[in-house]
Amino acid sequence: MQTDRHIRLFRNGTNQALRIPRDLELPGNEAVIRKEGDRLIVEAVKKPSLLALLATLPPLDEEFPDVEDPLVTDGDVVF
């Protein structure tokens, strides 16, 4: 586990800010911050996977029509 790092806080307009040292940088350009007692917890926002996104969509209730076209075979493809 890493040892504690002491950093300086500064003002950026009306906000209090801190610089994150390079070796502690988070991936991406967005994070979530929350306060737990006297601690601030900063976590990188993970982009959901395509499967996670699809899982949030409601199921389709409609029937798909039968496809009359035969499947394409390798012999049908012209380069």
Write out pLDDT tens, residues 3-48.
788 889 999 999 999 999 999 999 988 999 999 999 999 999 988 8
pTM comes to 0.53
Classify residue 55: in a domain, yes or no: no
Whether residue 54 lies inside any domain: the answer is no
The answer as to whether 76 is a domain residue is: no
Residues 30 and 45: their CA atoms lie apart, in Å, by 6
Question: How many C-alpha atoms does 65 have within 13 Å on its Cβ side?
Answer: 3
Whether 41 maps to a domain, the answer reads: yes
Residue 35 is inside which H or E element, if any? strand 31-36
What's the confidence (pLDDT) of residue 39?
A: 93
* Domains: count for the chain: 1
Domain membership flag for residue 19: yes
State which residues form the domain around 25.
Answer: 1-48
Residue 72 lies in a domain: no
> Quick check: 72 pLDDT over 70?
yes
Q: Is residue 38 part of a domain?
A: yes
The C-alpha angle with vertex 50 and arms to 73 and 47, in degrees rounded to 5, equals: 150
